[in-house]
Structure 1
């Protein structure tokens, strides 16, 4: 008698991951348009470094406020509706930049964009928790998180051409229409695994193969009692501002340091963010590979995070690089390290908390990262206005990740899941 083979599990969950990848890509195209155009809008409109810092801070402030609400809203209404609300807001906000004529107008548009974009990562990570077994989550997060780098690559490819051909307003309108198109597809197509008729029984069994998780909704006051929450908060607070710096100041750094024009910015930015894209997928793959080889989750996750943290350290030399492409290589390695780090950090909530609490924990951590980003954006604006030097910023970037890893290990030395008392909810 021939052995009975296991039924095929299917790959529908990876289609869901592709949708998350598309949303994250569009999210970062929308937010990156201003960064690409900043050196030239600054000349055209006349804002100084401090005022540009305030514009960036407006986005960060709204992002922080949005994250206070986004996780709880998504946990309450589900990923389908919660994601739709978020992307509807940021689509309109992206297009509203075309109406801005000064610092106040751009600050208001950025504030609205931050409110909407705050919903992307809580919704995407909760979707991963719904659609993937624990052992595949880091890879799934790494794949969709790579959209942040794809978006950062696409933006310098498209934005300068659109702006040079049709005007800078058209660049904001075009990216807003991309997110509106995604929204229509999402509402028509997305359902949870149990409600998706195209999902096979074998794949559904794989998705639900982990031990049952308690079906409780934890209020924030209870989440904040757990060291696991504070570990995630600390990781985001310490390292998120570095990524914001990459997004909003790299074009200005390259323009100021090497005199690049709008069209010349494209190739170095593309190389930097392609490297970041590779880092995102590699960081998630590395942790999953170590787990597959028998490493405990704690050692695999932190080992991958340590490798990524060390990759960022050489950026301390970027401000003194004599050649453009030496600086690009150092910065690209750092962005790769950050994104590999993020692929693992963003998996921590689903490692440490039951599924109903994941989006709320991500929202709390994202809020911490956005508040820290606000502080750094204002600081960088005043620093550059006063000194014109990027050296202190690169020194801060090079040390942030090892510091964050130390804090995470101190708070959760074994990555033990939070002990949830369902009867207390």
Structure 2
């Protein structure tokens, strides 16, 4: 059926989810760019700065992981319209609340509330995509909305240091936090589930529900117990894939400005362009990550094979990051390029690993399974921070060899995705669908 006859309203919905994800990541990464300002405000020396920042990061990840225990279940119970709005309103308030912190403890409390509430974004977003797109388009739609994480990470270094220099670091938290309330207005104007959306044509509704197993009706909100979901190897495949790869993206978000600052002696304002460039490059991975499996499916490949082959290709694309510092010793922009390619590969991987949930599970369980996997991703981030970054970076900062700590970290980044792909392949070779 021709695109004009089908209609395109589902892409309006995708743009709303893209906007929400942009705000989610903008609020999340602001603190990484304010690290030098906070160190000056609270009189942290280099070692105290590394230790306190690691602690603040860890409590965010713990809260995020805990939030995902409940977020998916709440989204499945409330539905996407109310559930997504509630999560965004609460995390926007938490983001503004950072401006009132007066030290490490205050930031820790603010990060806890931010982590708990930001956990709602991806379970809601993946459920929206499952409601609004047929399976063959879901990786593309996921890649597009997930590129919002890149845009948020691009906007932050281009705006936050300027705001901090002009009006002070507190206003950086306030201004970015208030953007979420603009999104809320647009969400309530334009969003409703397909069966209740008057702007949706019948042709597009039928196309959205064109998968063979789709029953052309909205899924019920019957509660699916976690214990039931944990019995399936498909749940564990997704969870382990997230456990090994989510922490790498968080490392880029929270530590990239620090790496560039210390490796190349850049000022806070000089960090803006190279940091933004990494995420500009990575945005191509988000969209391209969804395009490749769609292309393969259109050529006749089974969905699982197209998804799995694409993910393997992306996993190999991360490997060159092991040589980031070696290339950076020749020219800083070579390091920026190779880190950007690795970040692009992560986003391409992410678009597909999220889509495996809707490939394997019915709609009524998608947000819950996404929450389970996200929680494991959060746990991976906590372990990485506690066992590697906090110990490793603080130790090497103390002996004046922080570059060695980053070399070890980049090696971990390079090998994580192939490890995740192998575990997922062993657990569920064909991403088999389940029935509940």
Query: Is structure 2 residue 22 aligned with structure 1 residue 31?
Result: no
- Asked if 1:250 corresponds to 2:252, the answer is no
Aligned pairs, number: 417
**1:192 match:** 193
Q: Where does residue 373 of structure 2 map in the other structure? A: 365
Match of 1:300 among 306, 316, 330: 306
Q: What CA distance in whole angstroms lies between the structure 2 residues aligned with 1:201 and 1:414? A: 33
Structure 2 alignment gaps of length 5 or more: 397-401
1:39-89 CA deviation, whole Å, 9 max, x = no partner? 342343214212211100111011011100000000011001111111111
Alpha-carbon distance in structure 1 between the residues aligned to 2:128 and 2:41: 42
- Which moved further from structure 2: 376-385 or 198-207? 376-385
SS at match of 1:263: coil
Counterpart of 2:234 (choices 210, 213, 228) is: 228
Query: How far apart in 2 are the matches of 1:244 and 1:5?
Result: 40
1:327 aligns with 2:351: no
Q: Secondary structure at the match of 2:430?
A: coil
Say which SS state the counterpart of residue 334 (structure 2) adopts.
Answer: helix
Q: Is the 8 A contact 1:138 1:285 kept in 2?
A: yes
Q: Which residue of 1 aligns with 2:395?
A: 386
CA distance in 2, matches of 1:267, 1:373: 26
RMSD: 1.5
Q: 1:6 Cα shift?
A: 9.9
CA contact (8 A) 1:95 1:172 kept: yes
Q: Which residue in the other structure is 1:377 paired with?
A: 385
CA separation in 2, counterparts of 1:149 and 1:59?
Answer: 20
TM-score of the superposition, structure 2-length normalised?
Answer: 0.93
Does structure 1 retain, via aligned residues, the 8 Å contact 2:362–2:435?
no
Hey, what does 1:10 align to over in structure 2?
7
2:354 is equivalent to residue 346 of structure 1? yes
Give 1:102-181 correspondences, 5 Å limit: 102-181=103-182
Find 1:238's aligned residue among 221, 244, 247.
244
Q: What pairs with 1:259-338 in structure 2 (closer than 5 Å)?
A: 259-320=265-326, 321-322=328-329, 323-338=331-346
Q: What CA distance in whole angstroms lies between the structure 1 residues aligned with 2:378 and 2:427?
A: 21
SS in 2 for 1:390: helix
Contact 1:48–1:385 (CA<8 Å) still a contact in 2? no
Q: Which residue of 1 aligns with 2:102?
A: 101
Residues 7 and 202 of structure 1 are in contact (CA less than 8 Å); yes or no, is this contact kept in structure 2? Answer: no
Tell me how far 1:261 sits from its aligned partner: 0.8
Q: Distance in 2 between matches of 1:5 and 1:128?
A: 21
The residue matched to 2:116 in structure 1 has which SS?
Answer: helix
Runs of 5+ in structure 1 lacking a partner? 421-425
In the other structure, the counterpart of 1:400 is 416
Is the Cα contact below 8 Å between 1:50 and 1:378 reproduced in 2?
Answer: no
**CA offsets, 1:338-375, max 9 Å, x none?**
00000000101100000100000000000000011111
SS of the aligned residue for 1:295 comes to: coil
1:57 paired residue number: 58
SS of 1:414's equivalent in the other structure is coil
Q: Summarize the Cα distance change of 1:111–1:7 in structure 2 as closer, same or farther, 3 Å threshold.
A: closer
